[in-house]
Amino acid sequence: MIQFLLKGILRDRSRSLLPIIVVASGVFLTVLLSTFMKGLFNDIIDMNAHFTTGHVKVMTRAYADNIAQMPNDLALIDVANLKEELVADYPDMEWVDRIRFGGLIDVPDENGETKTQGPAVGQAVDLLSPNTQEPQRMNMEKALRQGRLPKQPGEAMLSEDFAQKLKVELGEEVTLFGSTMEGGMAFKNFKIVGTVSFGATVLDRGAIIVDIADAQEALAMEDAAAEILGFFEGDTYDDEKAKEIVADFNAKYANDPDEYAPVMQSLKEQNDLGSLLDMSENMRIILVSVFVFAMSIVLWNTGLLGGLRRYTEFGLRLALGEEKKHIFKTMIYEAILIGFIGSVVGTILGLSVAYYLQEYGIDFSGMMKNISMMLPQVYRAQITPDALYIGFIPGLFAMVLGTALSGIGIYKRETAQLFKELEV
Amino acid sequence: MNTASIISIKNMTKRFPVGKGEFTALENINLEFGEGEFAGLVGPSGSGKTTLLNIIGSLDSPTEGTATVMGKNIAQLSHKESALLRNLHIGFIFQSYNLLPVYTVFENVEFALLLQNHTASERRKAVMDALEWVGLTDKVKSKPAMLSGGEGQRVAIARAMVKRPKILLADEPSANLDAKNSHQILKTMKQLNKELKTTFIFSTHDEKVMQYLDRTISLADGKVVKDELTVAANAG
Ligand SMILES: Nc1ncnc2c1ncn2[C@@H]1O[C@H](COP(=O)(O)OP(=O)(O)OP(=O)(O)O)[C@@H](O)[C@H]1O
Ligand SMILES: [Mg+2]
């Protein structure tokens, strides 16, 4: 019987083609949008993690409370010991110091007079120690627009926009003015060896990137750091594990009343990323529900139309002694077959386009010149194992549901009534 | 002539609800049919022929009285039981042939056997036999759209007969056919009636069909007005 039905489905295009197209399109869109959203949210999370939050971050309590002001006077001190402790307690993680600072860049002309000037946001990261992962983590090679990364103390990079604004050429020296941890005046000369563009407006606006040791020296922050960022092995955020580590670390300082005592926060606790992560999950659920609902409605109606066309067949099958229940069952089998074919086609198409988007992405940079949120400019999809079923199962389900709804009509009709269709 | 009675209708009335009232389509019918009969219901449109065939075919049930088919009381059958009765014992032929357009001639006939437990080779043999009865063995692979009207109705006969039912109900089988094809299918059916002892019951207005009947039952306004044995003019 099944074989017979399969033949019918394959030969009667009008019975199969429309539902297959409906299922395949719905599944295609579900897979594509969900991988795209996954990719987008992950890029946002990764970008935030790499540039500002880490997977977990250690600061002083006071710094954490005023983080928006980059209050380096509230920075962690005795960092070497603290890091040793972190490495000993959480050996699976990588720990790095960072300092962010505000300041002023002054570009002198040949005579030492100010040529141009501008407010700067400094990022001090470990650029120079032998095994540093930081340049890679911040994607600096790719972000590089001119020149090279700093190779020795006293070298720095500017963001491309900022360099143009200040009319700085590679090789020129600039002076950074800032304030020390104690509130004194700090200044240091840097040789500009490269320019970068990270592709996120917040990161690129007025940025100067220097080695952390240079910053510590310039800002009188020896053995001090604003933040210590921790990253999981493999660079994937694991919220459960992050929570554990945070609880464990903070418990050690729970009884310390000092406002300079260290405190750890997970990625989710910072920058509202928690709600962003939750939102990404919710949006995927909403997306799938909307598609299941819409597909079911459409398939219900195509099922009704198809059913009308098949009353002759159903009447005949009743006459031949088939039970209504069996006819209904075979309709469901057909639906499973059609739903399966449509879902396979939709998933394959969806994954193909998603794969393309994962590799090449879509460049939206033109549209977000002035957005201050930390958003990537090239949007990429991300294919995760659940992409295999996130469209597939709903597609199959919608087809079966739509068919079952339309098939109820067959049930409700009297046998003799269905049979009437045969008399004409 | 009457051997064992396989259809027995006693004091049977059929009413349909129409609006708030009822419409009496059949009234106090009493009929017996034996094995191997070749009988026809004749009468004007609306006289109740189709309604009676539907009840005999267990597609509908009487309002009053009883209809017993192959020993089963139609009114008391569940949906499942009546489906089984049709599956095993009753074949239908209609005015329109109702062939399934996506399947070949062979598959259309085979379809009737799919609900019974036969092996593929048993089915193949039965289908080829049935197509031989109606003279269509050369059309096994054709689709219904490629057949003439006469051929289409012959496929329908093969489909109805392939499971060798005890009873064959034919509702206006010749209405869409020309004279030549009508005679041809009636001759085929008469032949099968003789060979397989199948009881044929027709509903018809068609004079050509009436010529072949051994028994003619006239209906008018839902009542049997005449029930006579007829000499089949075209017999043999
Ligand atoms: N389901 C129904 N509901 C109401 N009335 C019905 C129903 N089925 C049949 N009738 C009525 O019962 C009467 C007999 O109908 P039936 O179809 O048996 O006539 P018939 O003799 O087969 O006519 P024809 O020669 O035109 O096919 C008709 O008046 C018809 O309108
Ligand atoms: Mg009729």
> Which sequence spans correspond to the domains of chain A?
2-47+275-423, 56-236
Residue B166 lies in a domain: yes
CA dihedral A313, A319, A322, A325 (to 10 degrees): 70
Residue B234 reports pLDDT greater than 70 = no
Give the per-residue pLDDT at B233. Answer: 57
User: Is B204 touching ligand 1 by the criterion CB < 6 Å?
Assistant: no
Give the per-residue pLDDT at B55. Answer: 95
- CA–chain centroid gap for A269, Å, is 17
CATH number of the domain within which B79 lies: 3.40.50.300
* Dist CA B221 CA B211 (whole Å): 23
Give the per-residue pLDDT at A141. Answer: 87
Give the per-residue pLDDT at B141. Answer: 96
Q: State the distance from the centre of ligand 2 to the C-alpha of B36, rounded, in angstroms.
A: 23
Residue B48 reports pLDDT greater than 80 = yes
Give the per-residue pLDDT at A420. Answer: 65
Give the per-residue pLDDT at A303. Answer: 79
Name the residue of chain B whose CA is nearest to A3's CA.
Answer: B114
* Tokens (6 digits) for B19: 């609006």
* Dist CA A394 CA A389 (whole Å): 8
Domain span holding position B171: 5-96+162-229
Most confident of A410-414, B27-31, B227-231: B27-31
Per DSSP (E only), the strands in chain B are 5-18, 21-34, 38-42, 64-69, 72-73, 90-93, 167-171, 199-204, 215-220, 223-229
Residue B61 lies in a domain: yes
* Dist CA B147 CA A259 (whole Å): 94
Identify the contact set of chain B against chain A, taking CB-CB distances under 8 A.
50, 54, 57, 59-60, 79-80, 82-88, 90, 92, 94-96, 98, 100-103, 107, 111-112, 114-115, 171
Q: State the distance from the centre of ligand 2 to the C-alpha of B169, rounded, in angstroms.
A: 12
Give the per-residue pLDDT at A376. Answer: 63
Mean pLDDT of B9-22: 94
Q: How confident is the model at residue B122 (pLDDT cuts 50, 70, 90)?
A: very high
Of chain A, the percentage scoring pLDDT greater than 70 comes to 93
Q: How confident is the model at residue B3 (pLDDT cuts 50, 70, 90)?
A: low
| Paired residues of B10 in beta bridges | B66
- Nearest C-alpha neighbor of A152 from the set A170, A131, A127: A127
User: How distant is the Cα of B198 from the closest Cα of chain A, in angstroms?
Assistant: 16
Give the per-residue pLDDT at A370. Answer: 53
Examine the predicted complex and report whether its ipTM is higher than 0.90. no
Task: Return the higher-pLDDT residue of A314 and B15.
Answer: B15
* Tokens (6 digits) for B178: 């020309």
* Dist CA A153 CA A162 (whole Å): 21
Q: Contacts of residue A421 in chain B, CB cutoff 8 Å?
A: none
User: How distant is the Cα of A395 from the closest Cα of chain B, in angstroms?
Assistant: 26
Give the per-residue pLDDT at A375. Answer: 59
Query: Which residues, in sequence order, are CB contacts of A18 under 8 Å at separation 6+?
Result: A302, A306
Residue B141 lies in a domain: no
Total of domains in chain B: 1
Q: Which of B13, B50, B217 to mutate to test the pocket of ligand 1 (most atoms within 8 A of CB)?
A: B50
* Tokens (6 digits) for A72: 């380096």
* Tokens (6 digits) for B62: 């009487």
Q: State the distance from the centre of ligand 2 to the C-alpha of B171, rounded, in angstroms.
A: 7
Give the per-residue pLDDT at A423. Answer: 55
* Tokens (6 digits) for A244: 């554990």
Residue B108 lies in a domain: no
Residue B81 lies in a domain: yes
Contact yes or no for B115 and A419 at CB 8 A: no
User: Is B117 touching ligand 1 by the criterion CB < 6 Å?
Assistant: no
Looking up tokens 């592709």 gives: A199
Q: Which regions of chain A are under pLDDT 70?
A: 364-377, 413-424
Specify the ligand 1 atom closest to the Cα of B219: 21
pLDDT, tens digit, for every residue of A317-365? Answer: 888 999 988 888 988 998 998 999 999 999 999 999 999 988 888 876 6
What b/e sequence results for B169-187 when a residue is b if at least 16 CB atoms lie within 10 Å of its CB, and e otherwise? bbbbbbbbbeeebbbbbbe
